[in-house]
Structure 1
Amino acid sequence: MTNLRTLQFNDLSDAAEEARSLLQAGYTPCGNWSLGQICRHLSLVQNPSVDGYPAWMSLFAFMRPAMRRWLLPKLRRPDSPRGIRTASIFVPPDDVIDQEEVDAFAHSVKRFHSHLGEYAPHPAFGRMSRTEIEEIHSLHAAHHLRFLQRDG
Structure 2
Amino acid sequence: MSFHRNGASDRLSRRELNLQSFDEVLAEARSLSRVGYHRVSKWSLGQICDHVSRFMDDSIDGFKSTPRFAPLVRPFFRMMYMGKVLRNERIPAKMPTLKELEPDEWTEDAHALPQLEKAITRIQDPSTQFVTSPVFGNLTADQWRQVHLWHCQHHLEFLIPAARDAQANAPQA
Query: Hey, which bits of structure 1, 4+ residues long, moved more than 6 A?
Result: none
- Answer whether contact 1:50 1:119 (CA < 8 A) is retained: yes
Shift of the alpha carbon at 1:8?
2.0
For normalisation by structure 2, the TM-score amounts to 0.78
Alignment CA distance shift 1:82-1:33 (3 Å): farther
Partner of 1:80: 91
Distance 1:82 1:38 in 2: 18
Give 1 or 2 for the bigger CA radius of gyration.
2
- Answer whether contact 1:49 1:122 (CA < 8 A) is retained: yes
Partner SS for 2:20: coil
- Answer whether contact 2:64 2:100 (CA < 8 A) is retained: no
Shift of the alpha carbon at 1:24?
1.3
Distance 2:41 2:17 in 1: 15
The structure whose residues are more often helix, as a share, is 1
Partner of 2:20: 10
Shift of the alpha carbon at 1:102?
1.2
- Answer whether contact 1:30 1:147 (CA < 8 A) is retained: yes
| Counterpart residue identity of residue 21, structure 1 | S
For normalisation by structure 1, the TM-score amounts to 0.88
RCO higher in structure (CA 8 A, sep ≥6)? 1
| Identity fraction in percent | 27
- Answer whether contact 1:8 1:139 (CA < 8 A) is retained: no
- Residue pairs, 1:72-151, within 5 angstroms: 72-75=82-85, 76=87, 78-114=89-125, 116-151=127-162
| Counterpart residue identity of residue 124, structure 2 | H
5+ residue gaps, structure 1, are none
- Say what the alpha-carbon RMSD is for the aligned residues: 2.1
Shift of the alpha carbon at 1:140?
0.7
Shift of the alpha carbon at 1:7?
1.1
Distance 2:117 2:93 in 1: 24
Partner of 2:54: 44
Distance 1:5 1:64 in 2: 29
Does 2:36 correspond to 1:26?
yes
Alignment CA distance shift 1:132-1:58 (3 Å): farther
- Equivalent residues, number: 152
Alignment CA distance shift 1:57-1:11 (3 Å): farther
Distance 1:4 1:149 in 2: 8
Shift of the alpha carbon at 1:65?
2.8
5+ residue gaps, structure 2, are 1-9, 164-173
